[in-house]
Chains A and B, each alone.
Chain A
Amino acid sequence: MKKYALRRILLSLFTLLVILLVLFVLMQLMPGSPFNDEKLNAEQKANLYAKYGLDQPIFVQFFRYVGNMLTGDFGVSYNISKNTPISQLIQTRLPISIAIGGMAVALGTLVGLVLGIIAAIWHDTVADTVATVISVIGVSVPSYVFALALSYSFGFRLRWFPMLFTAKQIFASSVLPSVSLSMFTMASIARFTRSEMLEVLGSDYMLLAESKGISGPALIFRHALRNALIPIITVLAPLIVDLMTGSLVVEKIFSIPGVGSLLVTAIQSNDYNVVISLSFIYSAMYIGIMLAVDILYGIIDPRIRLAKEENA
């Protein structure tokens, strides 16, 4: 297990380094230099280059860049809010995005589990069909379609929730975005729970438990669900990808001041520095979560651990 975990950690760090290299090269390729001012003469330019270390060899610049990024010094924004440090821009926005993403995951997991269990217990009945239809729609319809529909119906027409995010009613205005983001989570967890539960319910140890006289909720929750839940960790990866992409558009639709909408604004206003910093943050979060998932899965399920150690 240690060997496997170590290998995964090294590989993750290497991936992060590759990403930093790509981002660094992109920055070099971007048109224009920060010192394009015609009033500057050659000597002044040289001074500025020296001040910012731009006269150093390219690999020294790269390592300086890596150091800066890892310590959270992302430089300043050019267009969105001039000369504001990007870390400062992100600091206020990241918690909002994470809160809404977290709410979406919690809601989606809860509803998804319930739907999946219902579909598995009353297998091949109307309940199963309804749950399946809901989860197929949830998996295949993108979150921003839900966002638009919810925003129009519950926000604009019924006025139950604010259409746009307001700092005064943080909870009420987080409801619609969280619900629309949670649809994919809900659907994939429901699908997964259903098929896992069906497998577990047909297993020999369930027959044994039943023949020992255990029934009802104890049978389902203590014996079946526990075992069905282990592999659910594997659906986390596509979920995170979906949440990240989904949050961009959903935050834009509800004008939530999170990192997703910041990235969209940065793309639209060509603020390369912000785009690249956010790309780094998204990548780092993604890599971190994947690493955690893999290691966690290895700890929980020894079969996976052994299989992976053989491969390594």
Chain B
Amino acid sequence: MKASAQQAAAPVTDGTVFYPDDFELKNNADEIRIDSNFAAQSFWKEARIRFCRKKSAVFGLAMVLLITLLAIFGPGMNSYTYSGQDLSRKNFAPRVPVLEDIGILDGGENISTTTGSKKLNYYQLKKLDNVYYWFGSDTFGRDIWTRTWSGAQVSLIIAVAAALIDMVIGMSYGLISGYFGGRVDSAMQRFLEVANGIPRLVIVTLLLLVLSPGMLTIIFALMLTEWIGMSRIARAEMLKLKEQEFVLASRTLGAGSFFIIFREVLPNIIGPVITQVMFSIPTAIFTEAFLSFVGLGIPVPQCSLGSLISEGFNSFTTHPYQIVPPIVVMALLMLSFNLVADGLREALDPKLKEM
């Protein structure tokens, strides 16, 4: 501005004329800080606006929040516990107050027999007027509502923990590999290629054969398999950024390699990293469910969405309502996380709009 102010009054198209006195020097430290603050805010603000403009992403976020809230508070919303069995009340169909009066979810279920199907209501047969199982009860008389939400809790904890650990490992690996380049990069990339050549299914299966099944083992297995995608993204971003001026400036100021990697470059790649984390959560949920289905999941009486589905599968032709809640919750959860991730990808990287 100073440079332009020193020039003689320059005419502007609409007739206004500027004189040197019209300009003032604006380079004191306070204002620069405000300026950078504003720039930082506006990126996130714009990203938020772009995100909100996408209906599917907002729907996904709402579903994720709803399911998370239900996973936290759902198990406490009635008096049942996730492991409390009552064999005299097994296989009760769903019954919900109010809704039962209009004829749906009233505790009746159709049982197919050789002579045709008939409607049975165990609540009436056993004269249990004040008993309500909102999602029904399973083959051990446990409340499916409580089990579904505590299962969702376990699945979410596993998925989020695994995704965060993967993020830390994959990001560090990719950033270091990309930053140092040359022989370090080449060695690290060869290792990655070999690790990537082993199917995940095989790694996870073998690991769970050796270690005892449980939440930590599953997180560990997911950690071993899912970091590769993240490290690729981090490396690609690093290769793009490391030649830029701000890195050079930082190095001129005397910053060490690790300062540049984690304090200078890392904050600049947070967009793609968050997107990738969001994409890896549904993968983790699916892998957990798959492991439970195969019998390598969470040990009883604890449950996860996967173990509930695999329990419900055993009786899904006779009592289909038992498998519906966990499967719907899992499908919705995976779908919602994918929608959020899609929305985030577009919101954080405006160049990608047409994808």
Footprint of B on A, CB under 8 Å?
11-12, 14-16, 18-19, 22-23, 26, 29, 136-137, 139-142, 144-145, 148, 152, 156, 163, 195, 198-199, 241, 244-245, 248-249, 252-253, 263-264, 267-268, 272, 275-276, 279, 282-283, 286-287, 290
Whether B334 contacts A282 by the Cβ 8 Å rule is: no
Residues of A within 8 A of B199 (CB): 241, 244, 282-283, 286
Q: In the complex, A141 Cα to B309 Cα: how many Å?
A: 14
What residues of chain B lie closer than 8 Å to A279, measured between beta carbons? Answer: 202, 205-206
Q: Measured between alpha carbons, how far is A26 from B316 in the docked complex, in Å?
A: 37
**Is B293 a contact partner of A249 (Cβ separation < 8 A)?**
yes
The answer to whether B209 touches A275, judged by C-beta atoms less than 8 angstroms apart, is yes
Residues of B within 8 A of A245 (CB): 200-201, 290
CB proximity of A5 to chain B, nearest CB, Å: 15
Q: A142-B290, A148-B316, A244-B199 are in contact. Are A11 and B193 (CB under 8 A)?
A: yes
Inter-chain contacts of B197 with A (CB < 8 A): 11-12, 15-16, 19, 283, 286-287, 290
Q: Are A137 and B293 in contact (CB under 8 A)?
A: no
CB distance from B151 to the nearest CB of A (A): 15
With A140-B334, A148-B327, A248-B290 as known contacts, state yes or no: A18 contacts B205, CB within 8 Å: no
Q: Assess whether A198 is in contact with B354, with CB atoms less than 8 Å apart.
A: yes
Asked whether A152 lies within 8 Å of B320 as measured between CB atoms, the reply is yes
Chain A residues within an 8 Å CB radius of B56: 136
CB distance from B188 to the nearest CB of A (A): 14
Does A244 contact B201, Cβ atoms closer than 8 Å?
Answer: yes
One digit per residue, 1 when the CB lies within 8 angstroms of any chain A CB and 0 when it does not, for chain B 329-346 equals: 011001101110010000
7 cross-chain pairs, A with B, having the tightest CB-CB distances, nearest first: A15-B197, A140-B338, A279-B202, A140-B335, A286-B199, A141-B331, A140-B334
Complex-state Cα separation, A239 to B282, whole angstroms: 16
Q: Choose among A26, A140, A156, A241 the residue that contacts B200 (Cβ–Cβ < 8 A).
A: A241
Contact residues in A for B338 (Cβ distance below 8 Å): 136, 139-140
- Docked-complex contact A268 and B294, CB < 8 angstroms: yes
B200: A residues at CB distance < 8 A: 241, 245
B198 touches A19 (CB 8 A): yes
Measured CA separation A139–B317 after assembly (Å): 26
A to B contact number (C-beta, < 8 Å) = 113
Cα(A241)–Cα(B203), bound, Å: 12
Chain B positions within 8 Å of A, measured between CB atoms, are 56, 190, 193-194, 197-202, 205-206, 209-210, 282, 286, 289-290, 293-296, 309, 313, 316-317, 320, 323, 327, 330-331, 334-335, 337-339, 342, 354-355
Interface centre among B194, B197, B339, by most chain A C-beta atoms within 10 angstroms, is B197
Residues of A within 8 A of B194 (CB): 11, 14-15, 18
10 additional A-B pairs beyond A15-B193, A249-B290, beta carbons within 8 Å, are A12-B197, A136-B339, A140-B335, A148-B323, A152-B320, A241-B200, A245-B201, A253-B313, A276-B206, A287-B197
Could you tell me the distance between the alpha carbons of A39 and B198 in the complex, rounded to whole angstroms? 41
Q: Known contacts A11-B190, A142-B286: does B317 contact A267 (CB below 8 Å)?
A: no
**Nearest Cβ distance between residue A254 and chain B, in whole angstroms?**
12
Q: Which single residue of chain B is at the shortest CB-CB distance from A11?
A: B193
B335 contacts which chain A residues (CB < 8 A)? 136-137, 140-141
Contacts of B209 in A (CB 8 A): 26, 267, 272, 275
29 contacts between A and B (CB under 8 A): A11-B194, A19-B198, A22-B198, A22-B206, A26-B209, A29-B210, A136-B335, A137-B335, A139-B338, A140-B338, A142-B289, A144-B290, A144-B293, A145-B330, A148-B309, A148-B327, A199-B354, A241-B201, A244-B201, A245-B200, A249-B293, A252-B293, A252-B294, A264-B295, A267-B295, A267-B296, A279-B205, A282-B201, A283-B202
Q: How far is the CA of A253 from the CA of B317 in the complex (A)?
A: 12
Give the interface centre of A241, A263, A267 by most chain B CB atoms within 10 Å.
Answer: A267
CA distance A248 to B330 in the complex (A): 19
Chain A minimum-CB-distance residue to B286: A142
Find chain A residues with CB under 8 A from B210 CB: 26, 29
Interface centre among B205, B295, B313, B342 (most CB of A within 10 A): B205
Kindly list chain A residues whose C-beta atoms are within 8 Å of the C-beta of B296.
Answer: 267
Closest partner residue, chain B, to A285 (CB atom): B199
Nearest residue, chain B, Cβ from A8 = B193
| Minimal beta-carbon separation of A239 from chain B (angstroms) | 13
Shortest CB–CB separation between residue B200 and chain A, in angstroms?
A: 6
Docked CA distance A8–B296 (Å): 34
